């Protein structure tokens, strides 16, 4: 089925807010604007309310007399970062000893509280936008709970990053179904088989408020007794899902490990491909030509992440599978980078690593040969393009939303500086200071180390 043309509506998927407001001038040491060009020394970014009004250098840009100033002159200014693939509803290694115990012990209501907490940890580290590609719970799909986390942040009643929520739309026994233990009773309408059931499931997720339809064309990595190269859907089914998403002006994100999965997704007109893993040159070329963004999710393929999984009670079968997938993931990433595929940063953060450590993904990219500037762009401009939000986000330019991070250090010299909490000196989301760790200030989104793991107690 050919991609439906003209399905996309450019309005941002969050409530409209008042424009105009307070004038603020931020002075920095250098500016990485997200466009990939030379850095600007002694930059000044002028904000008006939630938007950027002007960008220039000290002395070159007019600072209105009434503007309040924010002194970030020791820091690198860069756009608020975006992680295009997280699962905040998953049981994370920083909050649980054992994810299997958590799946049986924790009710969806508490799981939802953790989803908010996980999202807040990301904002605390400069990630102002998260694309959360969905979850399930012991009681069925988790779309409504995640949408409520997003909406409570949008309403301003709790602090958190901007969130876009994916709704699981998959077949019985798919990779996403197997995130839950096989023996766990499934209640409600969680999976669909055949085009009409899957259309209904997509419609239900959209009714509940999802921003993205998330589906799955192949097996995956982190689940028991499942080989990653199995097919999870037939062409007729994926065509129906993508068509239904587009009919409601929603994009469709497809988990694909296999070349045949990637081909099915492209044929159906999918909007982003998640993971990739296995590849061939011809399919990589097809992906580039189609302008489809890929989210590689490499941080959780590393040895460190596999070790965290071991500590979380993951079975030896899965650990061995993850180790076997590792070289394919790294190799495919390098081939995609060389070929010029639009790579949008995503961690697949869930079980591991710790929420807030999202910046680790960029270290993996640089380790595989990507330049630090391009790595930063995967989490800024490229990510905004992949989410079709480049008119609002992704770069520091006049007219865009003022999502800005001030970093103590030079991420172009050492990409690891963004991983240390003390280096994330300021985080602004839509012009509002969410984090301020400059000397003498201590505004944080979360309090470190005041929580404890509650499973296995």
Query: Which residues contribute to the site for Zn ion (CB under 5 A)?
Result: 348
Distance CA 374, CA 372 (A): 5
DSSP-assigned letter for residue 45: E
Of 26 and 201, the one with the shorter C-beta distance to Zn ion is 201
Of 202 and 253, the one with the shorter C-beta distance to Zn ion is 253
Q: How far is the CB of 73 from Zn ion (least distance, A)?
A: 39
Q: How far is the CB of 133 from Zn ion (least distance, A)?
A: 5
* Total residue count of the chain as it appears in this document: 457
Q: How far is the CB of 264 from Zn ion (least distance, A)?
A: 18
Distance CA 60, CA 397 (A): 15
- The structure tokens listed for 425 are 């000196």
Q: How far is the CB of 57 from Zn ion (least distance, A)?
A: 41
To which residue do tokens 């709970």 refer? 145
- Residue whose C-beta lies closest to Zn ion: 348
Task: Provide the 3-class DSSP secondary structure of residue 321.
Answer: helix
Distance of CA 372 to the CA centre of its chain: 19
Of 34 and 221, the one with the shorter C-beta distance to Zn ion is 221
Distance CA 136, CA 145 (A): 10
Of 237 and 348, the one with the shorter C-beta distance to Zn ion is 348
Backbone dihedral angles phi then psi of residue 114, each to the nearest 5 degrees: -65, -35
Q: How far is the CB of 151 from Zn ion (least distance, A)?
A: 22
Distance CA 442, CA 180 (A): 39
Distance CA 90, CA 250 (A): 24
Q: How far is the CB of 36 from Zn ion (least distance, A)?
A: 27
Of 176 and 435, the one with the shorter C-beta distance to Zn ion is 176
Q: How far is the CB of 68 from Zn ion (least distance, A)?
A: 41
Strand partners, 31: 40, 77
Q: At what angle do helices 143-154 and 195-208 cross, to 10 degrees?
A: 30
Of 343 and 428, the one with the shorter C-beta distance to Zn ion is 343
Distance CA 81, CA 27 (A): 19
Q: How far is the CB of 143 from Zn ion (least distance, A)?
A: 15
Q: Are 144 and 136 in contact (CB under 8 A)?
A: no
Of 75 and 351, the one with the shorter C-beta distance to Zn ion is 351
Q: Are 311 and 303 in contact (CB under 8 A)?
A: no
User: Dihedral sign, CA of 123, 86, 224, 277?
Assistant: negative
Of 387 and 434, the one with the shorter C-beta distance to Zn ion is 387
């Amino acid at each position: 089925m050919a991609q439906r043309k003209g399905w996309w509506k450019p309005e941002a998927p969050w409530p409209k807010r008042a424009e105009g407001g307070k004038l603020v001038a931020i002075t920095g040491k250098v500016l990485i604007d997200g466009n990939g060009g030379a850095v600007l020394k002694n930059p000044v970014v002028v904000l008006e309310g939630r938007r950027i009004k002007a960008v220039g250098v000290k002395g070159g840009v007019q600072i209105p007399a009434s503007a309040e100033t924010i002194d970030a002159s020791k820091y690198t200014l860069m756009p608020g970062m975006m992680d295009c693939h997280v699962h905040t509803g998953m049981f994370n290694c920083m909050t649980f000893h054992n994810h299997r115990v958590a799946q049986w012990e924790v009710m969806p209501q508490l799981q939802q509280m953790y989803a908010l907490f996980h999202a807040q940890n990301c904002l605390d580290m400069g990630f102002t936008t998260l694309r959360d590609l969905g979850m399930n719970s012991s009681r069925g799909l988790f779309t409504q709970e995640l949408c409520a986390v997003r909406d409570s942040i949008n309403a301003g009643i709790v602090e958190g990053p901007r969130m876009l929520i994916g709704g699981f739309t998959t077949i019985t026994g798919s990779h996403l179904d197997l995130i839950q233990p096989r023996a766990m009773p499934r209640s409600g309408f969680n999976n669909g088989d055949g085009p009409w059931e899957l259309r209904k499931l997509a419609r239900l997720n959209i009714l509940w408020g999802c921003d993205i339809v998330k589906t799955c064309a192949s097996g995956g990595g982190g689940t028991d007794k499942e080989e990653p190269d199995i097919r999870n859907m037939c062409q007729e089914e994926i065509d129906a899902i993508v068509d239904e998403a587009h009919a409601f002006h929603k994009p469709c994100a497809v988990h694909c490990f296999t070349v045949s999965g990637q081909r099915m997704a492209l044929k159906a007109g999918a909007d982003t491909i998640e993971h990739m893993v296995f590849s061939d040159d011809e399919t990589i070329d097809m992906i580039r030509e189609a302008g489809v963004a890929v989210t590689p999710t490499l941080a959780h393929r590393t040895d460190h992440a596999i070790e965290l999984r071991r500590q979380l009670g993951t079975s030896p079968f899965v650990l061995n599978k993850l180790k076997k997938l590792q070289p394919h993931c790294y190799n495919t990433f390098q081939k995609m980078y060389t070929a010029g595929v639009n790579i949008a940063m995503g961690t697949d953060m869930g079980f591991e690593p710790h929420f807030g450590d999202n910046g680790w993904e960029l270290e993996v990219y640089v380790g595989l040969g990507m330049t630090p500037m391009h790595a930063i762009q995967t989490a800024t401009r490229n990510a905004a393009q992949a989410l079709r939000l480049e008119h609002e986000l992704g770069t520091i330019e006049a007219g865009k939303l003022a999502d800005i991070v001030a970093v103590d250090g030079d991420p172009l010299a050492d990409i690891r500086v963004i991983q240390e909490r003390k280096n994330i000196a300021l985080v602004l989301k839509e012009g509002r200071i969410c984090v301020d760790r400059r000397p003498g200030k201590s505004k944080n989104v979360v309090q470190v180390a005041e929580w404890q793991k509650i499973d296995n107690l």
